[in-house]
Amino acid sequence: MRASKGAKGHKSLEQKKDSRLQPDANDTIHISGAEGIFNEEELSRILSRYLKRAMKHSRGNPDRITLTIERVADVLHTVPILTITTLECDSPERAKLLITEKLSELGISKTAIKTAFDTACSTSTMRGAALVKMISGNRSEPDKLRGVRASRLGIEKEFNRKLSKRLSRIGLNTDRVKEALILASKVAHHKDIVAELCISDDPVYTIGYIASSTHGYQRIPNIKNSGDMSGGRVFFIKEDADVLSLIKYLEKTPVLIVDNKQ
């Protein structure tokens, strides 16, 4: 699902007035997006859930909602879910220090971290993520305004129920946490990915995360101030990454997340 507003010819008064919303090159503003892998019989329930999300988003009312449904191959790759932890953090300033410390431990350079913050704290929100090389900090995605969108990702049905129970026990059983955890698990599993940084572009959601196959999915409260419309995602990649093959994996390869405690 993709919801946007301000498409050419549809520029709303609201957008003109709101300087916190920066349009992209196509003159559209990203409102909301979602993806998943589902069985046919789940489709109508999921589509109505996505539609509701698109139409009631704190980033505003969309002019356009696009729902795309594709059949995926029967044989799916599976990857284990990342472990989930929550770090202690009481302010955006502290979050920056914490993130810098954790990403440096993974060998990511200060230059790359700076590029990532510039991207993830931007008001001109992208639909996808930036690919930032871990040493040079060079941005490697072909379309810098759109980014690369991780797609074709889902969770094994039986494990989904188990995960809901596990997350309920720690008070985190929400669509938002689950979807981000599934996305981060698919992304972190690729050999050319070193880490991910995510700051939501939702002004009411101030918990971000960093994720890596080494340290799992680490939630960071107060990563930004409430009311802040900026946000973004960065995938840190190895300096010698095969970028085209990585993009193919992120965007096209169907992956199901499975339990890490088999």
Interface residues toward ligand AMP, by CB under 6 A: 33, 35, 125-129, 147, 149-150, 183, 198, 200-202, 231-233
Residue 224 burial (CB count, 10 A): 24
Comparing CB distances to ligand AMP, the nearer of 43 and 145 is 145
Q: Give the shortest CB-114-to-ligand AMP separation in angstroms.
A: 18
The widest CA-to-CA distance across the chain, in whole angstroms, is 54
DSSP assignment of 120-147:
HT-SS--SSBEEEETTT--B--S-TTT-
Q: Give the shortest CB-33-to-ligand AMP separation in angstroms.
A: 5
Give the whole-angstrom CA distance, residue 67 versus residue 46.
11
Question: With contact defined as beta carbons under 8 Å apart, do 251 and 150 qualify?
Answer: yes
The alpha carbon of 157 is separated from its chain's Cα centroid by a whole number of angstroms, namely 22
Q: Give the shortest CB-121-to-ligand AMP separation in angstroms.
A: 11
Give the whole-angstrom CA distance, residue 208 versus residue 138.
23
Comparing CB distances to ligand AMP, the nearer of 15 and 200 is 200
Q: Give the shortest CB-32-to-ligand AMP separation in angstroms.
A: 7
Question: With contact defined as beta carbons under 8 Å apart, do 94 and 102 qualify?
Answer: no
Comparing CB distances to ligand AMP, the nearer of 5 and 233 is 233
Q: Give the shortest CB-194-to-ligand AMP separation in angstroms.
A: 16
Comparing CB distances to ligand AMP, the nearer of 137 and 208 is 208
Q: Within 80-200, where are the H helices?
A: 92-105, 110-120, 157-169, 175-188
Give the whole-angstrom CA distance, residue 108 versus residue 116.
11
Alpha-carbon distance values, 179 to 60, 67, 91 (Å): 21, 17, 25
Looking up tokens 């995960």 gives: 163
Comparing CB distances to ligand AMP, the nearer of 192 and 201 is 201
Comparing CB distances to ligand AMP, the nearer of 35 and 156 is 35
Comparing CB distances to ligand AMP, the nearer of 115 and 200 is 200
Helix, strand, coil % over all residues of the chain, rounded to 5: 30, 20, 45
Comparing CB distances to ligand AMP, the nearer of 62 and 232 is 232
Question: With contact defined as beta carbons under 8 Å apart, do 238 and 192 qualify?
Answer: yes
Q: Give the shortest CB-262-to-ligand AMP separation in angstroms.
A: 26
Q: Give the shortest CB-199-to-ligand AMP separation in angstroms.
A: 7
Q: Give the shortest CB-134-to-ligand AMP separation in angstroms.
A: 18
